[in-house]
Amino acid sequence: MKQLETLAQTRRYSRQIMLPALDLAGQEKLLNSKVLIIGMGGLGCAAAPYLCSGGVGTLTLVDGDTVDLTNLQRQILYTDADVGRFKAEVAAQWLQRQNPEVQVHAVAQFADATLLAGLVATQDLILDCTDNLQVRQQISDACVEAKKPLLSAAAIRFEGQLCAFKNDGSGPCYRCMSRLFGEQQLSCLDAGILAPVVGLIGVQQALWAMLWLSGAADLPWHQLRLFDALHSQWQSFSLVKQPGCYCQAP
Ligand SMILES: [Zn+2]
């Protein structure tokens, strides 16, 4: 178990260590946590800096895509000079400058079932920051197999959604949710997105991750949260297991 060793480390995180619900013990839990972020688009770019600055010990960033000019409006870790470079690598460099104490690994490959099976098993928490239905299902399946908690998020137009799945057999999985609510087939390419909407949802993923990993609070597991940016309203729906779903296969 790693511990905070220097005064500089304690000072870096002092404003969250002073929170009674988090405390030194919570900070050391963060230090010993491994988080896998799949997709370094708008959600990943919003979530990763807070996890890194807040002292999550190990971050692994997965994305096989390269930076495009159309990404810069919302994927705020990238600049014009990064166009054509791998997002995972640019983001890892950015985060390493932000907090050199965090171990940041870049995996510049598109996620598939094989890659995910290898990566997910060693993590404490997985953030789905992708925008592809097939990959989302593969991420969910890998988390169900390995019994790893998953924070799933999506944003499009003026709408965001978020749900935490425990994947320990106690509740539904991402596939259960998509059976009930249908699937978001559209992408930002087809439908557009207002940048702060995706930023807000990504930061909410980071908030949930830090609350749970530090032990400061439990999460509203298996409750789908929908955000309507045009009316500044959140809605919540409780999810249940769907019979015959992948998560209940013997
Ligand atoms: Zn399921």
Domains of the chain with CATH codes: 7-248 (3.40.50.720)
Between 6 and 249, where is the model more confident?
Answer: 6
CA pair distance 245, 240, nearest whole angstrom? 11
In the chain, the percentage of residues whose pLDDT exceeds 90 is 88
CA pair distance 51, 35, nearest whole angstrom? 9
Q: Which two tokens stand for residue 206?
A: 């980071």
Q: How many angstroms does the Cα of residue 93 sit away from the middle of ligand 1?
A: 36
Q: What pLDDT is stored for residue 185 in this prediction?
A: 61
How would you label 87-100 residue by residue, b for 16+ Cβ within 10 Å and e otherwise? bbbbbbebbbeebe
Q: For 23-74, write each residue's pLDDT tens digit.
A: 999 999 999 999 999 999 999 999 999 999 999 999 999 999 999 999 999 9
Q: How many angstroms does the Cα of residue 128 sit away from the middle of ligand 1?
A: 16
Q: For 176-201, write each residue's pLDDT tens digit.
A: 998 877 666 656 677 899 999 999 99
**59 Cβ contact list (under 8 Å, min separation 6):** 34, 35, 37, 48, 51, 52, 95, 102, 103, 104, 105
Query: In degrees rounded to 5, what are phi and psi of residue 40?
Result: -110, 45
Q: How many angstroms does the Cα of residue 220 sit away from the middle of ligand 1?
A: 17
Q: For 159-172, write each residue's pLDDT tens digit.
A: 999 999 999 999 99
